[in-house]
Amino acid sequence: MSVLRAAVVSLRPHQWTKNLVVFVPLALSKHLFEPDPFLRTLLAFALFCALSGSVYLVNDVADLERDRQHPLKRQRPVASGILGVRAALAVAGALAGSSLALSLFLGAPFAACAVAYLTLNLLYSFRLKEVVILDVIAVSLGFVLRAVAGALAIGVRFSDWLLVCTLLLALFLALAKRRHELTSLDQAAVGHRKILAEYSPYLLDQMIGVVTASCVTAYAFYTLAQETVDKYQTDRLAWTIPFVLYGIFRYLYLVHRKEQGGSPTDILVTDRPLLVTVALWAAALLVIVYTHGGAPMPRGG
C-alpha cells in the first residue's frame, strides 16, 4: 500500500456517511431543490468529511498501541506502520487548517460550529474517551453539531425537537457500539479501550433501554407538536413513526442476536431490511413535507 493510499484509508471514507446529517436541515426547511442552499450544504458536508478525517488520523496516532492489540484495528495504516506518525499528523493538520479556513465562506457562525466540532473531537481523543458516560455523550454531541452546522450553512433555524432526536439516536448508537466492543472482545476489551472497564453488558442494556424509549417518544412528540403541524400544515409526519420503531428494533435485534453494532455505518449499508427502512422513512418524510402547504423556512444571514 502506498503512503498516499494509506493516508486516504486512514481518513475512513466509509464513515463519512455520518456527515450526511448536515443535509437534514436542508431537506426539512424545504430548500432541498434550490441550487444555492444545496451547494452550501454540499460544501458543509465536504468540510465536515475533511474535519472528521483529520480527527480519525489524530485518533489513530493517540490509540496506536491499543489498536495494535485489536484483531482488526491493528491492520490500520498507522497501527501497522504503513503510515508514519509524522506523516499522519501532517495530513491531519493540513486538512483541519484548510477546512477551518474554507468554513468562513459559509459564515462566521458555521465556522464557529466547525471549530467546536473539531475541539470536541480532540478533547474526546485525548481525555473524554476515558471518562465514563461522558465518552458516549461526547460522541453524540458530535452528531448534534453536524446538524446545527447544516442549519447554519443555509441560515435556517433547526427544530429543538430534532436536536433532541439527533442526540438520543446518536447516544443509542454509541451505547450499542460500546456493548459490542465489550462483548466481542471479552477479556481483551479493556486493553483495547480502557473505559470499557467502567461498563458492563447489564449497565449498557439499561442505558440503551432508557435511550431507546426516549428517542422514540421524542420523535413522536416532534411529529405531533403544534409547531411542526403549523410549519408543514399537516399532522401526517406521525405516519413515519412505524419506520422509526422498526429501524430501532431491527438494530437492537442485530446487536443482541447477531452480535453486531461495532460499526453503525457498516450495518446501515450491509443490512438490507435496515437500509430499506431508512430509505422508506426518508422518502415518506420528503413526500409529506414537500407535497403539503407551508412556505420554505426563511433564511437568515
Which domains occur in the chain, in start order? Answer: 3-290 (1.10.600)
pLDDT of residue 187: 63
253-257 long-range contacts, CB within 8 A, separation 24+: 255/176, 255/179, 255/180
Per-residue pLDDT of the chain (301 residues; tens, 9 = 90+): 578 888 888 899 988 999 999 999 999 999 999 999 999 999 999 999 999 999 999 988 888 877 777 777 788 888 888 888 899 999 999 999 999 999 999 999 999 999 999 999 999 988 999 999 999 999 999 999 999 999 999 999 888 888 999 999 999 999 999 998 888 766 666 666 788 889 999 999 999 999 999 999 999 999 999 989 988 989 899 999 999 999 999 999 999 888 887 788 888 888 999 999 999 999 999 999 998 766 777 787 5
The radius of gyration computed from the CA coordinates of the chain, to the nearest angstrom, equals: 20
Residue 104's pLDDT is 96
Please tell me the predicted confidence (pLDDT) of residue 125: 87
The confidence score (pLDDT) of residue 67 equals 75
- The whole-angstrom separation of Cα 107 and Cα 27 is 20
- As given in the structure block, the three cell numbers for residue 215 are 428517542
pTM: 0.91
CA distances from 120 to 133, 138, 139, 150 (A): 15, 7, 9, 17
For position 192, what pLDDT does the model report?
65
Structure confidence at residue 191 (pLDDT):
67
Q: Which three cell numbers stand for residue 159?
A: 427544530
